[in-house]
Structure 1
Amino acid sequence: IMPYTLPLHRARRMVSRKKALLLLLLALSSLSVLIHQSAHLSWSPKPSSLNCPPTSLPRPKHTSVAFLKTHKTAGTTVQNILFRFAERHNVTVALPHHACDHQFCYPRNFSARFVHPHTLPPRIIASHLRFQRHELGRLMPNDTLYVTILREPVAMFESLFTYYNQYCPTFRRVPNGSMDAFLANPLAFYRPQEKFSMYAHNILLYDLGGDNNHSPADPTYLPSFIRQMEEVFSLVMIAEHFDESLVLLRRLLSWELEDMLYVKLNMRGPRSKGNVSSEALAARIRTWNALDAQLYEHFNTTFWRKVAQVGRECVAEEVRALRRACDQLVHHCFGGLPQLRPATQIKNKELRPWQPSAKVDIVGYDLPLAVSSSGAPPDERCLKLAMPEVQYSRYMLRKQSLRSRRRVVPHRPLPPRAVARPARGLPLRHPTMPKVA
């Protein structure tokens, strides 16, 4: 008996059907994976039902940013956002020379010569410095957008008083570390020419390059200073309205929502937080830091004008989208709400925040060994999300130094000028600050 053989055209048809079925199964499988991933990591906000201005301007992402990182204003969190953006988009970040540690030889006036040569020419700068417009102009591209952040002076001063109690001689003189005792007679403890004295008096103005000891009774000084700031800074963020600030920053830079995701960094533990016990004490803080208080009041007002230009409801809608996306990323990285831990309890040394003194606890995050059923470790994005400033600065310097050594065409050098020696008795780095390798 002859075996039955399918006609050639029928055999080809069956093979084609099998291929089509296989392709359909593969497509369904891929679609399922994409849907599953998007359910967990979908950053894009839903289309607005409001008549809002476009959330992304029709232009490329702006990659040249100078962020003036002020003290105790949530600046470390903004810096982390900028560092992660720079890594994702291969943008060079200006980092301090070894002699300056992870700050640009603060509290000295910024000089372009403080920048590590392996991080030239930069497009982003985000580490602590004392603002000098001319020097930053020498360093940064002409299209650089300048941004900074301010914080309400009462809350900021409480944080400064606690955080720098071992650095600032003014604070060390105060009996029992009492803020009430200091504010009862600040001039009994404050020495304007003393090193690190700026932590005790109008530090926002000092960081911005102003005279923090100028008399607040002068009716011309601060208005003139504010006008100069407004000529330079495209956005002054407000720490108390951090998410709204990020919405404005994202629109200014034409970035995506994914570029703005964050967790809070460099926070104090509960036992390290002081208490402004009365309105009278708060009033004394504002009086002692009158220039900072007026500066904050002005830019808080202009901040809400910018919000109004976009539309308060539109900004609120973007804030909700940002918070949802942050929650999704946190769940992805930590498997739930992250637990803030003292540095001594964080197993990964790359995630242990620097401690300013034995009297202050700066808490951080520890990533779980596995956050998925597969047992895979969390991705590098999660590590960078939680990485403190000192370690991230050190990592970025190593990475950019390797890239600089491989570069064939050298960067255009800055005009030659020697780095000025520090004033007598003024160390380049804080007494106990770890040296950046």
Structure 2
Amino acid sequence: MSQKKIFLVLIAICMFSLFLHHRGHLNLTFEAFWLSCPSSTNSSTQGSSGSALKHTSVAFLKTHKTASSTVQNILFRFAERNNLSVALPVTTCQHQFCYPQPFSVHFVHPYTTSPDIITNHLRFSHSELRRLMPRKTVYITILREPAAMFESLFSYFNQNCLSFKRVPNGSLENFLDHPWRYYRPEELDSMYARNTLTHDLGGDKDHPSKEAPAYAKRFAAEVDRVFSLVMISEYFDESLVLLRRLLSWDLDDVLYVSLNMRTPDSKSSLSSENTAKVRSWNAIDSVIYDYFNASLWRQLRSLGLPCVEREVQLLRRSRDRLVRGCFGGNLPTLRSASQIKNKALRPWQPSSKVAIVGYDLPVNITQKGQVPLRDECLKMIMPEVQYTQLLLRSESLRYRRRFPLRNSKQILRTVRHVRSDREPPSPSLIQRPSETMARSTRGAQQLSQ
């Protein structure tokens, strides 16, 4: 046999071995090529090949009870895989940026003041975020249908929010019949009881009713100018298709499992009458949600709905593969916090009245002698509080290695004052100073989704 033939045989053997070793990845690549939309395939290929770099500067406004914990987990894992820095709260703010106070750079831990990504709960302030984040930061957030969101808020914060706590028998129906009987705008946690999305976005949740419709439209337009993408939780996978395109990320970058969920018996269905009452009570939120729900579908239609559906199916199959690779089959069992042996996987419980479930590792993984769970797999099911603490330890070690001699005053001066290409929201649409100053740090102690 000639040397040329021997060389070709060796090449064939190597290629076959490579195929066997990376079979799952190659199958995924072929599926992505045939099933996803052309522009999506291009962006994915470009992102991984380096001809078009992935966007790595992201500010995610984590809203309440909107599946935002799942998005946050995606961003946390992306940051770790790509060696990016994540802005994290100072310890006095716990795992949120001193919410419900408007965000300030002073709420950022001094070891994380040159971040690529920010994603923990905060009350939006574009001007302050511009001081912290790089100029080309992409702003994204997520919204949820107001009636479903309000039912979840009422259940989740029924023992933390005084407006809910004083309702007889903890009845949502009683609250909706006479909301002003229980609601106090000046109370510390009142943002959970009315127009929560508006408050999170930095707006005035208690804008006078007569002017509310016009205010809501102006405010939605201002939000639209700042945020490059507003996801909708009811169409979570479709939103991820848009997110992946916007950031030029690979499919693997947006795989997820759902986090911070309530048990079925903690949920209640709303009648059409009560749904209408919720939307009326949260009138500003309702306008904002309808505005961005329509915007999302315009973007999806512009891509072509058949293509979007194919990519959604590809995403779900890829997620199933990841779950099988991590846990040997199905997802770990959902259990109450008290039943989960691994403390790193126990979700925070808002009260005894509502149960938030987490994932318990399969027995065959936790048994002695079995192969340890991959770090990526463990973090995919890790709750927000524990993951934030883990990242803070990692960021602190990294900072100390880089700047071993810096003291705290020098660290605080590292906050970058970088202006964005976009203008901040109009001051007239931002929370009144008198109201925001009335908030205290006790609000930062309210743990939320």
Q: Which moved more, 1:379-388 or 1:45-54?
A: 45-54
Task: Rate the CA distance shift 1:162–1:44 in 2: closer, same or farther, 3 A.
Answer: farther
Specify the alignment match of 2:39 in structure 1: 53
Task: Rate the CA distance shift 1:114–1:31 in 2: closer, same or farther, 3 A.
Answer: same
C-alpha distance in 1 between matches for 2:443 and 2:199: 17
Specify the alignment match of 1:400 in structure 2: 395
Specify the alignment match of 2:268 in structure 1: 274
Specify the alignment match of 2:313 in structure 1: 320
C-alpha distance in 2 between matches for 1:101 and 1:370: 35
SS of residue in 2 equivalent to 1:53: helix
Q: What displacement does 1:270 show?
A: 1.6
The within-5 A match list for 1:3-18 is none
Task: Rate the CA distance shift 1:367–1:107 in 2: closer, same or farther, 3 A.
Answer: same
Q: What displacement does 1:33 show?
A: 2.9
Higher relative contact order (CA 8 A, sep 6+): 2
Specify the alignment match of 1:244 in structure 2: 238
Letter of the 1:164 counterpart: F
- The answer to whether the 8 Å contact 2:36/2:311 transfers is no
Q: What displacement does 1:367 show?
A: 2.1
Specify the alignment match of 2:414 in structure 1: 413
C-alpha distance in 2 between matches for 1:387 and 1:44: 31
Specify the alignment match of 1:301 in structure 2: 294
Task: Rate the CA distance shift 1:50–1:160 in 2: closer, same or farther, 3 A.
Answer: closer
C-alpha distance in 2 between matches for 1:299 and 1:117: 35
Q: Which moved more, 1:330-339 or 1:343-352?
A: 330-339
C-alpha distance in 2 between matches for 1:267 and 1:153: 17
2:40 corresponds to 1:33: no
Letter of the 2:229 counterpart: L
Q: Deviations over 1:85-135 (max 9, x none)?
A: 000000101000001000000000100110001112001000000001100
Specify the alignment match of 2:164 in structure 1: 171
The within-5 A match list for 1:423-434 is 423=438, 426-427=441-442, 429-430=444-445
C-alpha distance in 2 between matches for 1:135 and 1:341: 39
- The answer to whether the 8 Å contact 1:43/1:325 transfers is no
Specify the alignment match of 2:385 in structure 1: 390
C-alpha distance in 2 between matches for 1:344 and 1:50: 42
Q: What displacement does 1:34 show?
A: 2.8
Letter of the 1:133 counterpart: H
C-alpha distance in 1 between matches for 2:115 and 2:260: 25
Specify the alignment match of 2:420 in structure 1: none
Specify the alignment match of 1:120 in structure 2: 113
Specify the alignment match of 1:134 in structure 2: 127
Q: Deviations over 1:127-169 (max 9, x none)?
A: 0000011000100000001000000011000000000001100
- The answer to whether the 8 Å contact 1:99/1:428 transfers is no
Letter of the 1:127 counterpart: N
Unaligned runs of 5+ in 2: 47-51, 418-435
C-alpha distance in 2 between matches for 1:22 and 1:111: 61
Letter of the 1:223 counterpart: K
Unaligned runs of 5+ in 1: 1-12
Letter of the 2:84 counterpart: V
Letter of the 1:159 counterpart: S
Specify the alignment match of 1:261 in structure 2: 255
- The answer to whether the 8 Å contact 2:36/2:308 transfers is no
Task: Rate the CA distance shift 1:23–1:136 in 2: closer, same or farther, 3 A.
Answer: closer
Specify the alignment match of 1:207 in structure 2: 200
Q: What displacement does 1:233 show?
A: 0.3
SS of residue in 1 equivalent to 2:140: strand
Q: Which moved more, 1:139-148 or 1:225-234?
A: 225-234
CA RMSD of aligned residues (A): 2.9
Specify the alignment match of 2:360 in structure 1: 366
- The answer to whether the 8 Å contact 2:56/2:117 transfers is yes
Specify the alignment match of 1:9 in structure 2: none
The equivalent position to 2:341 in structure 1, one of 338, 344, 347, is 347
C-alpha distance in 2 between matches for 1:354 and 1:29: 46
Structure showing the higher helix proportion among its residues: 2
C-alpha distance in 2 between matches for 1:404 and 1:342: 36
- The answer to whether the 8 Å contact 1:369/1:377 transfers is no
- The answer to whether the 8 Å contact 1:52/1:310 transfers is no
C-alpha distance in 2 between matches for 1:415 and 1:336: 46
Letter of the 1:319 counterpart: V
Identity of aligned residues (%): 52
TM-score (structure 2 length as normaliser):
0.85
Task: Rate the CA distance shift 1:379–1:355 in 2: closer, same or farther, 3 A.
Answer: same
Q: What displacement does 1:68 show?
A: 0.4
C-alpha distance in 1 between matches for 2:300 and 2:282: 27
The within-5 A match list for 1:46-85 is 46-48=32-34, 52-57=38-43, 58=46, 59-85=52-78
- The answer to whether the 8 Å contact 1:110/1:135 transfers is yes
Task: Rate the CA distance shift 1:22–1:67 in 2: closer, same or farther, 3 A.
Answer: closer
C-alpha distance in 1 between matches for 2:338 and 2:199: 34
SS of residue in 1 equivalent to 2:231: strand
TM-score (structure 1 length as normaliser):
0.87
Task: Rate the CA distance shift 1:23–1:296 in 2: closer, same or farther, 3 A.
Answer: closer
- The answer to whether the 8 Å contact 1:131/1:209 transfers is yes
- The answer to whether the 8 Å contact 2:365/2:371 transfers is yes
Greater Cα radius of gyration, structure 1 or 2: 1
The equivalent position to 1:381 in structure 2, one of 373, 376, 394, is 376
Specify the alignment match of 1:10 in structure 2: none
- The answer to whether the 8 Å contact 2:100/2:439 transfers is no
Specify the alignment match of 1:329 in structure 2: 322
Q: What displacement does 1:54 show?
A: 4.0
- The answer to whether the 8 Å contact 1:368/1:378 transfers is no
Specify the alignment match of 2:428 in structure 1: none
The within-5 A match list for 1:207-226 is 207-218=200-211, 219-226=213-220
Q: Deviations over 1:187-224 (max 9, x none)?
A: 00000000110100000000000000013431431222
